[in-house]
Amino acid sequence: MKKMYFTCGPSQLFKTVPKHILTALSTDIPSISHRSILFQQIHEHTVSSLKKLLNIPSNFHIFFTGSSLESMERIIQNCVHTYSFHFINGAFSKKFYTIASELHKKPNGYTAPLGQSFPAIETIKINKNVELICITKNETSTGIEFPDEEIRKIRNRYPHVLIAIDTVSSVPYCNIDFSKIDITFFSVQKGFGLPAGLSVLIVNDKAIEKSLSLSQKKISTGSYHNFSSLEEKYIKHQTPETPNALAIYLLGKVCDDLQQIKLDTIRKNIEKKAAMIYSYFDNHILFQPFIKNVQIRSKTTIPIITGKHTLPLIQYLIKNNLYVSSGYGNFKEEHIRIANFPAHSMTNINTLIHAIQEYTKISLCEDGRLEKKQ
């Protein structure tokens, strides 16, 4: 049986990826020069397909970086002189904050209690001098979604502050309203079902202006990947460094495929699959979803409290060629996390649930509890 990856990233490849890799090899894409017309055409195609798929307005520029952690670092370097503000509700939002601090900025933040939502935005104090507000749309470590209405409220309250949203593990499921944000970024190994090693950093004119104003003040905005170097090459359909042309090519192809299926259909499917997963675990005798508040439950990366069963369950699933993520950080031996990306079909999710059901039966029998339940 073929292995299935419900891991949070890298994850299962989108079904058309092997075919596109073969085409890329047979047309020598890994060998072509990144200064050639052929590369420029690939770049142009990927950018335009991505813009169409995600409805990205023309005042946004699309840059490629090596990872989303790199994108976080570039955003801080290019958009913050001194003060950033971070909504922290897990390891990835915390990382954004830490990067700002490591770059010797003065980040501030609001940390939500573990597994819970943020309070109403009106009650969170954000200083007037903050230059950038950072939000994680889907906090992969804790499985919490940041509601779109809250992003709208933040924009209305702070119309002049740059807003960056990390959409790494929710794109293309999340429907980004580009009029409410200035910057977003994601890696391709999560929702796009591609190999890791490429991040897409999408920034508007206002973010580029901020970067220029920092350079004029002799503040370092980085070197080859500062916004002006990225922009200079972007308009020529190139990248400053020798890029992962294969990854850029594959992203364009998967964007085409997703458009064929229609993003709306993909989103509805993700919701259906998520509902199946949550309803199974909401009624489970041994396990429960980590997030209790249904309003903020992630649809794409779902942590389940599995307690002492965590390691045996993961082992059991591996024996059945099914791979899930363990819990993040301190939850490593307490949770499993299940990814629900466009690459995962309804049948895949059914297979996983069925296997977990089998594990549950075996373990209840071993404990002599099965009769009790019946």
Query: Terminal CA-to-CA distance of the chain, rounded, Å?
Result: 32
**73, 131, 145, 166: which one binds ligand PLP (CB under 6 A):** 166
Q: Does 140 bind ligand PLP (CB under 6 A)?
A: yes
Residue 221 and residue 76: Cα distance in Å, rounded? 9
Q: Give the residue with the Cβ less far from ligand PLP, 174 or 286.
A: 174
168 makes contact with ligand PLP (CB under 6 A): yes
Rounded CA separation 132/127 (Å): 11
**Element spanning 105, H or E:** none
Residue 11 binding ligand PLP, by CB under 6 A: no
Which residues between 40 and 99 bind ligand PLP (CB under 6 A)? 67-69, 92
Contacts of 363 (CB under 8 A, 6+ apart): 286, 309, 312
C-alpha 111/C-alpha 93 separation (Å) is: 9
Nearer to ligand PLP, 166 or 182 (CB): 166
> Which C-beta is closer to ligand PLP: that of 77 or that of 199?
199
User: Taking the complex as a whole, how short is the minimal distance between the CB of residue 225 and ligand PLP, in angstroms?
Assistant: 14
We find the least distance from the C-beta atom of residue 196 to ligand PLP, in angstroms, to be: 6
State yes or no: residue 298 binds ligand PLP (CB under 6 A). no
Q: What would the two tokens of residue 200 be?
A: 């897409």
Minimum CB separation of residue 274 from ligand PLP in Å reads 16
Which listed residue (187, 211, 221, 325) binds ligand PLP by CB under 6 A?
A: 187
- Is residue 7 involved in binding ligand PLP (CB under 6 A)? no
Cα angle 32-34-37, degrees, rounded to a multiple of 5: 80
What x-and-dash track marks residues 194-213 binding ligand PLP by CB under 6 A?
-----x--------------
For the bound state, the minimum distance from the C-beta of residue 9 to ligand PLP, rounded and expressed in Å, comes to 5
Q: With binding defined as CB under 6 A, does residue 136 bind ligand PLP?
A: yes
**Contact status, residue 174 vs residue 156, Cβ threshold 8 Å:** no
Binding residues for ligand PLP, rule CB under 6 A, total 12
CB closer to ligand PLP out of 79 and 171: 171
CA–CA dist 162, 155 (Å, integer)? 9
Contact 86, 93 (CB under 8 A): yes
Segment contacting ligand PLP (CB under 6 A): 74-82, 112-120, 166-174, 335-343? 166-174
Q: Which residues contact 69 (CB under 8 A, 6 or more apart)?
A: 95, 99
Q: Which residues contact 229 (CB under 8 A, 6 or more apart)?
A: 223, 240
Judged by CB under 6 A, which stretch of 115-123, 162-170, 224-232, 267-275 contacts ligand PLP?
162-170
Could you give the residue ranges of the DSSP H alpha helices within the chain? 17-26, 37-54, 68-79, 91-102, 148-157, 205-216, 227-234, 245-261, 263-282, 310-319, 346-366, 370-373
Rounded to the nearest whole angstrom, what is the least distance from the CB of residue 110 to ligand PLP in the complex? 17
Return the number of the residue (14 or 359) whose C-beta is nearest ligand PLP: 14
Asked whether 86 and 96 are in contact (CB, 8 A), the reply is: yes
Q: Which is nearer to ligand PLP, 68 or 204 (CB)?
A: 68
Would you tell me which residues interact with ligand PLP (CB under 6 A)? Answer: 9, 67-69, 92, 136, 140, 166, 168-169, 187, 199
